[in-house]
C-alpha cells in the first residue's frame, strides 16, 4: 500500500514538473522585448480614416447598432457606438429607456454607451475595454464590432461593414 502511494506521488510530481517546465518561459529576451510594448505600437498599425459598421436588422426591441470609428495619426480619436430605432432615434438619448433600464439593472444606455466609447479611445484596444455590469450584451457586441472596425483600420478599408444580425 505504501509503495503504491509513493509511486502515484512520484508520477504526479514528475507530471507536474513537466507541465510547469513546458509552460514556463526560459527565453528572457522575449519577455524583455515585450516590456516596452505600449498602446502606441497597437494603434500605430491603424490607417487614418473613418470606419463604419451597421447592423442590417433591428433586434426584438426595435434597435440596431451603428458604430463609427475615426482614426487620425494612427490613433483612435473618436468612437461613436450607439443604437438607433426605425425612426433614427438613438438609444443613448432615449430618456424612457434610460430610466427603465437604470431601475432594473442600475445602468442605462446614457451611462454605458459613453463609457464604452471613452474606454476604447483611451485604451486604443478593444480587448482592453471592460464589460459594463448590467450591460453585458451591449458590452460584448461593442467589443466584437470594435475589433472588426480596428481590423478594417489596419487594412485601411473604409468600406462600410454591414452585419446581418
Reading the chain (165 residues) residue by residue, the pLDDT tens digits are: 545 554 554 444 444 444 334 444 444 443 333 344 334 444 449 999 999 999 999 999 999 999 999 999 999 999 999 999 999 999 999 999 999 999 999 999 999 999 999 999 999 999 999 999 999 999 999 999 999 999 999 999 999 999 999
Q: What angle do CA 93, 96, 98 make, to 5 degrees?
A: 60
Residue ranges per domain, the chain? Answer: 46-163
Residue 114 dihedral angles phi and psi, to the nearest 5°: -60, -35
Give one word for 58, left, alpha or beta, with left for phi > 0 and alpha for psi -120 to 50. beta
Rounded CA separation 51/9 (Å): 58
CATH 3.40.50.170 given to domain 46-163: no
d(CA 151, CA 45): 10
* H/E run at residue 55: strand 49-55
6-17 pLDDT tens trace: 455 444 444 444
pTM exceeds 0.75:
no
CA distance 56 to 72: 27
Amino acid at each position: 500500500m505504501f509503495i503504491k502511494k509513493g509511486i502515484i506521488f512520484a508520477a504526479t510530481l514528475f507530471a507536474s514538473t513537466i507541465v510547469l517546465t513546458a509552460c514556463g518561459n526560459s527565453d528572457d529576451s522575449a519577455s524583455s522585448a515585450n516590456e516596452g510594448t505600449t498602446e502606441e505600437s497597437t494603434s500605430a498599425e491603424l490607417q487614418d480614416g473613418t470606419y463604419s459598421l451597421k447592423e442590417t436588422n433591428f433586434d426584438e426591441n426595435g434597435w440596431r447598432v451603428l458604430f463609427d470609428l475615426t482614426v487620425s495619426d494612427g490613433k483612435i480619436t473618436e468612437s461613436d457606438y450607439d443604437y438607433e430605432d426605425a425612426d433614427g432615434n438613438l438609444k443613448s438619448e432615449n430618456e424612457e429607456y434610460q430610466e427603465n433600464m437604470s431601475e432594473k439593472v442600475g445602468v442605462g444606455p446614457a451611462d454605458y454607451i459613453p463609457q464604452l466609447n471613452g474606454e476604447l479611445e483611451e485604451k486604443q484596444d478593444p480587448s482592453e475595454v471592460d464589460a459594463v455590469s448590467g450591460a453585458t450584451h451591449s458590452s460584448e457586441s461593442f467589443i466584437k464590432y470594435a475589433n472588426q472596425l480596428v481590423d478594417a483600420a489596419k487594412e485601411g478599408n473604409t468600406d462600410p461593414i454591414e452585419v446581418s444580425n
